[in-house]
């Protein structure tokens, strides 16, 4: 007995029409890649416009900070709405007096948004990776700001 020979695969019949390749994703244009950054900008601009129109210095428009209400202690965000209102209306010194940390945050976030928009237009992802040490430094800065603005010598930072 001889070993059984494997049957060769049957020949494929020739096709009259070639099978089209599956559709590939079209490369996104820079305008299309900017949709998410521009949508985010529109949302943030709308929020700032609202705060610019509805003055937080007038009572009854916004809730009071619970920490300030119940303890009398300013949190890191206390004065943030007043700061945003003053920033939008062009009173930058008053904005810094209301919440200097918030003004610094507006500027940092604006710079990050510009970086995000430029990288998105070029088709590149935005990757901002802070090390554990950098996160601790940010947290320490916020904590120090919070403590100092509640001390008598730091009253210039209080809203």
pLDDT of residue 58: 87
CB contact at 8 A, 83 and 103: yes
Counting beta carbons within 10 angstroms of the beta carbon of residue 42, is it exposed (0 to 12), middle (13 to 18) or buried (19 or more)?
exposed
Buried b or exposed e, range 49-60, using 16+ CB within 10 angstroms: eebbeeebeeee
**Residues 3-39 pLDDT 10s:** 556 666 555 655 566 666 555 555 567 778 899 999 9
Q: How far apart are CA 113 and CA 109, in angstroms?
A: 6
The CA-based angle 142-148-154, given to 5 degrees, is 135
Low-confidence ranges of the chain (pLDDT < 70): 1-28
What pLDDT sits at residue 29? 78
| Dist. CA 52–CA 86, nearest whole Å | 8
pLDDT of residue 86: 95
pTM across the whole model: 0.74
Cα distances from 64 to residues 19, 75, 82, 85, 96, in angstroms, run 66, 12, 12, 16, 20
């Amino acid at each position: 007995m001889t070993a059984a020979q494997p049957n060769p695969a049957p020949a494929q019949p020739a096709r009259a029409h070639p099978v089209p390749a599956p559709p590939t994703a079209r490369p996104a244009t820079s305008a299309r890649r900017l949709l998410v950054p521009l949508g985010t900008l529109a949302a943030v601009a709308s929020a700032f416009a609202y705060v610019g129109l509805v003055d937080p210095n007038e009572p009854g428009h916004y809730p009071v900070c619970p920490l300030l209400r119940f303890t009398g202690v300013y949190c890191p965000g206390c004065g943030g709405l007043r700061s945003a209102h003053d920033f939008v209306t062009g009173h930058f010194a008053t904005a810094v007096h209301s919440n200097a940390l918030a003004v610094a945050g507006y500027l940092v976030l604006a710079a990050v948004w510009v970086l995000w928009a430029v990288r998105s237009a070029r088709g590149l992802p935005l990757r901002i990776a802070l090390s554990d040490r950098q996160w601790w430094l940010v947290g320490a800065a916020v904590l120090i700001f919070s403590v100092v603005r509640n001390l008598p010598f730091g009253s210039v930072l209080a809203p």
